Amino acid sequence: MRTLLQINTSLYLENGQSSQLASAFVAAYCARHPDTRVIVRDLAAHPLPHLTAERFQAFLTPPQERTPAQQAIVAESDALIAELKAADTIVLGLPMYNFGIPSPLKAWFDHIARAGVSFRYTPQGPEGLIGDRKVYIFATRGGYHQGTARDTQTGHVRDFFALLGIRDLTFVYAEGLNIGETEREQALQAARQTIERLAA
């Protein structure tokens, strides 16, 4: 059985354009692969705490020395990492807010990236411990940013997954959604056509 992890990050939950595109892809993918088990993690509906010194220290403390509170923090992170490891395919809905990634996604990144657990340091540089798998990213933007210095998302997301050893990423962009109705519909239609091709 295949396992697909869908990560939504839109403030508008399932009504966000990025969430809708991600869900459209998942539906098309499952229609072609009916044995797929889908896990949906909505980081806006159920946000993780942002990283604090207290939470970071819990990750650094040896297991036998952790307090009950630290054990709970680490257990939450361990569950997120296990969920990621179990997924053969990852689908990420990625709206752009103020030229960056949504803050709930950054919190998820900070709970996933743990030295010695999801990656390790070597003399040759960091080495991912998650293992490569396919990631589809549906990036929605109000303006036009792809290929410009304003697109801080693409490199950030690519670098994060590469840290874990995940390099097979496909980005689908729907841009200009706030420019006008015509531009919006054209961008979304193009994204839907790409979805049909990718899910085949």
In whole angstroms, what is the distance from residue 104 CA to residue 55 CA? 16
Beta-carbon contacts of 38 under 8 Å, excluding residues fewer than 6 positions away, are 4, 6, 26, 30
Question: Is 143 annotated as contributing to ligand binding?
Answer: yes
Q: Are 169 and 137 within 8 A, CB to CB?
A: yes
Separation CA 72–CA 13 (nearest Å): 27
- Residue 98 labeled ligand binder: yes
Does 99 show up as a binding residue in the annotation? yes
176 is in an annotated binding site: no
Query: What does the alpha-carbon distance between residue 165 and residue 63 come to, in Å, rounded to a whole number?
Result: 25
Q: Is 136 annotated as a binding residue?
A: no
- In b/e form, how buried is each residue of 118-157, taking b as 16+ CB within 10 angstroms? bbeeeeeeeebbbeebebbbbbbbeeebeeeeebebbeeb
Taking the C-alpha atoms of residue 57 and residue 70, their distance in angstroms, rounded to an integer, is: 8
The answer to whether 8 is a known ligand-binding residue is no
Annotated binding-site residue? 10:
yes
Give binding residues for FMN as ranges: 10, 96-99, 140-143
Residue numbers in the known binding site are: 10, 96-99, 140-143
